[in-house]
Every structure is written in structure tokens, then in C-alpha cells.
Chains A and B, each alone.
Chain A
């Protein structure tokens, strides 16, 4: 179609109707984005969101269960911190590869690795949030006849909310970044186009687009969590009235 494309064989096609932008290898080609949004970028973004959501949700459930256990039985806290710290320090590429042998190179391996990176952050924050409920508030709650469960649900968890959300924010942003290397065990997420782009030499649009989407996703997720906390903690807003 384009005479230029026909003339110059140096620049490869890069999965696009070769616009002049691609052919001249400009830094960022919007035509390329428009052309590849639905076949490449959107599916990768959707997978990335799902990978992150599942990892953070599962991680939160596990961490919350452990934190509640540690809240009631203090001795649980130390071994849990040690274990989750060890998980947190394993180099991510190594962990993905280690998981291939037992579970295979698939999305399950990916999720196990991602979940294990959320645990330390979430566990620490939930435990800290529960512990920092003022002693007088807890004593008043017990003294008025609340059961342990009622104290937990009506007093301790609401007051721990800011710390819990802070943990969720760090965990979510971390997992969005980490999920870009999930491509080593399964063909999913924004890591796939980033990896492809790295192999394609001088053409940078795909790398910038996929990387940019990962950053944007992290910012949006963080903003959503901040907004959720704002809605859920009206008492923190009421101070200056």
C-alpha cells in the first residue's frame, strides 16, 4: 500500500499496517497503538488486571486469616513473619522457575508466586493495625459486654482499616509491577508485549505502550484504594469541623 514500505525493507512490519511512523521508527506511534489495541494490548491489560486481582485477593485472605490467628495467639506472629519474609526475599525469576517443576508452567505457578509476595506486606499491616487500637477503646468495648468477636468486628477491624488499606496499596502496586515477568511461566499479562518488544530491536512503541499501561494501572488501582478508604473512614475526615 504505502510506497515507502515497499521501498525500504530495513524496517520490519511489527504486526502493523506499516504507517510512516512505524517505518521511520518514531519513538511513539499512535497508529500502531490503534491498530494493536484490541489484538494485543487490551487482552494483555485484562489478563494483568485479573492476575493482580486474584493474587491480592487470595493473599489478603491468607494474610488476614494468619493475622487474626496471631492477634489472638501471639506466638503465631513470629514464625509467620519469618516464613513470609523468606518468601519475600526469594528472587522472583527463581521462584517462578522453581514452581514449574511441581505445578507446571501455567497460570497457577504464576499466582502462587504472586500471592507469596503479598503475604509479608499484608500480614504485617493487618497485625499492626489491630495492635494499634488504643487500649482504652478495647477495654471500654469489653467492659460494656462485647464478646471477643464483637470487639473484633465492630471496633478493632474498623479502626485497623487505614493500616489494612495501606498494606493493600503497597501489595497491589508491587504485584502489578511483578506480574510483568509472569510471562516466563505463562503467556499472560503486560509482560508479554514488553518481552516481545525487547526482542524487536529498535522499535519502541510497543515497549512504551505496555510499560506505560502497567504504570497507569498501578496508579489507577492505588487511587481506587485511596478512594475506598476515604469512603470507609468518615471519622478521619471529620477532625476539622
Chain B
């Protein structure tokens, strides 16, 4: 993010808007089908939060998203953006205020990167100078070199670059709401993880209200401030924070959907800073050294791999510290700023495990 750092300060002021989104008893029924595609869907996404719509195929998650910008007209209920019904607005005008990113991205092949990003500003009638400044700012924001990228055509970009241009294009007119339909679905797993991390950093800067559709529960847990789990027929099964859903699945469907390893997934949400470490108490720390920012799930994995030998947890500079797995060299000895905070053993999980047992689903067969 070296190029973006200078842009943050001026950039932040230019990404200032986010709106609360409210769905009220929204339903969608197609003429020739007996069962509705969406049934009485109600949920509120607070301004600046990421709401992930997740569910198996046939659960209507994409339909629900497309109702919001009226690519599909709802059959009943109301959708409020900042308290105003979207149904009373001109669809074109509404869509120009909602960022839209789809899985295949849909960049215009006949336009350069700069022209693609300028799409909505041009529809809004911005002046050329203002558009040029904006394009520059957005390319820096998504970590693409403006000089190199501006004049390229989509066919000349890699999948990841296309994806970033797609996000920049959606952000161009500072929309208060973004809709993203499986935006990382067509990207290979390694690049997907990187783009997800980048996107979370970006969202921390722009703080947009985002509705994010995916079929991948792990992606939902990673990206969402809140997750709405839909079941077949467009029924909302549960709407809550990832931690709550993993700890207290509302029913069997949710428990099955999040998977039998939900306890482990939940450990992925906490870092070693959240657990009670054992004091070193004179024991010579000879186990593997890990940063305090590592996720509990990754630490547990290392613990098992190491035959149960306690891990030495270090405080201090630990790079990104987002716990992206166990590369070999966790404890570079001799880093002056590092300090041993404690040891990670199975006992450290005690607190978390007790909490989890209490939260097992009542029918408990997951």
C-alpha cells in the first residue's frame, strides 16, 4: 500500500458517504412460479457495515441483492436507503448512487481502464478535469499504478487487476451503498485471499455500506460485519454477527450450513491476544514462536503439529499479524522490540471452549 498511503488523507474526504439500508418485508414472486423467490425479508444494515448474504443455490441471495438497486422489482414490501424508499426513485438515478460489482466484473472491453472508471461520473455529467483527478485517486486507492494502467484495455489486465478496476469503477461517484455479487468468485484461491484482505483494508478506509453476496461461508465469516443466512425459498434463517452465528446457530439448517467445524471457525475470529496465555514462570520458552496477532485457529493448528509443545507468544512488531497461516520463521530471534508475553497451550482455550459448549444448538446434532 505504499502508493496509497499519500492518497489516504485527501482520499478519505472524498469517500465520505455511507447510508443505512433497510429491507422491510420484501418479497419477490415470479408470475409463473408457485413459490416466491424471496419471502418477507427484513433486515437492517447500519451505515458503513458489510452485510454478507449467504446461502445455498436457490436461496435467492442474488435476487435479494438485485432488488435493492431495482434490477429486479420487488412484489411487496419496501426498501429504504437512508430512510427513503428506493421504489419512489427513478431506477437510473438510483443505480448511479449505488456501486455495483458483479462476479464477471463486466468491464467494458472497448474502453480503457480510465474510461471504465469514469463511467458513472460521466453519466452524472462531471467535468473532464474532475473526472481525471478522480480516476487518479481511485487507481491509487486500489493500488494500481495510474501511469501504467490508465490507458490499458481490460484484455491487457490480469484477473486481479480487472477485479480492482471493477471496485474502483463502483466507487467512482462515492456511492453511499455498494452491492457486490460474488466479486472474488472467479479468482484463484491464493489471489482471492489477497484480494479479500486488500478489500477489507480498503473498506476500513472508505467505510461504505456494503451488501456482499457469496455462497462461501468462510468468505462470509471473513468479510462480514453481519451475515444474513438465507435458505431455499428466500427465507432468512439467521441475521447476526459472524461470532454469534458460529456460537449460537439459530437452527439445524444454520448449524449444518456453517459446518461441523464451526468451533474452529470461531477460533479463527479471535487472536492470541483474546485468550488467557500461561505465564512463562521461569520455564525456558523453547516451543515455536508466534506473534500475538495470530489467529487462535492457526495457533491451535501449530500446537497440534508440534505435538502439543506450548507455543511462545511474542509481542511487538509482527508484520501484518493477520494470522495468515504458519510460515516457518515465526520467531526471528534477536528482534529487540519483541517480548515474550506468555505460552499458548490447550489450557488457554478453556475459556473459549466453555463459552462454546453453552452455545451449542439445542437440537445439537451438528
Q: B-contacting residues of A (Cβ < 8 Å)?
A: 134, 136-147, 150, 155, 158-159, 233-235, 238-239, 241
Contact = CB atoms under 8 A, between A and B. Distances in A.
27 contacts: A137-B106, A137-B108, A137-B109, A140-B106, A140-B108, A143-B69, A143-B71, A143-B102, A143-B179, A144-B96, A144-B169, A144-B170, A145-B91, A145-B94, A145-B97, A155-B110, A158-B110, A159-B110, A233-B110, A235-B110, A235-B111, A235-B153, A235-B155, A238-B152, A238-B153, A239-B156, A241-B156
Contacts of B92: 145-147
B270 interface: no
B290 interface: no
A241 B155 CA distance: 10
Contact of A145 (B95, B105, B106, B110): B95
Please list the 10 inter-chain residue pairs (A to B) with the smallest Cβ-Cβ separation, ordered nearest first. Answer: A140-B106, A145-B95, A145-B96, A136-B104, A143-B100, A136-B106, A238-B153, A235-B153, A145-B92, A235-B110
Given A150-B123, A239-B155, A144 B111 contact: no
Contacts of B169: 144
Contact of B108 (A141, A142, A234, A241): A141
A144 B110 contact: no
B156 A155 contact: no
Nearest to A146: B123
Q: Is the interface of A mostly helix, strand, loop or mixed?
A: helix
Interface of B: 69, 71, 91-97, 100, 102-111, 119-120, 123, 152-153, 155-156, 169-170, 179
A233 B119 CA distance: 19
A66 to B, nearest CB: 24
A238 B156 contact: yes
Given A143-B69, A144-B170, 14 more contacts: A134-B104, A137-B109, A140-B102, A140-B105, A141-B106, A144-B120, A144-B123, A145-B97, A158-B110, A159-B110, A238-B155, A239-B153, A239-B156, A241-B152
B123 A140 contact: no
A137 to B, nearest CB: 5
A143 B153 CA distance: 21
B164 to A, nearest CB: 15
Contacts of B105: 136, 140
A127 B164 CA distance: 33
A156 B91 CA distance: 20
A93 B120 CA distance: 54
Nearest to A155: B108
B106 A139 contact: yes
A233 B111 CA distance: 10
Contacts of A241: 152, 156
Contacts of A146: 92, 119, 123
A235 B112 CA distance: 8
Contact of A136 (B71, B93, B102): B102
Nearest to A138: B106
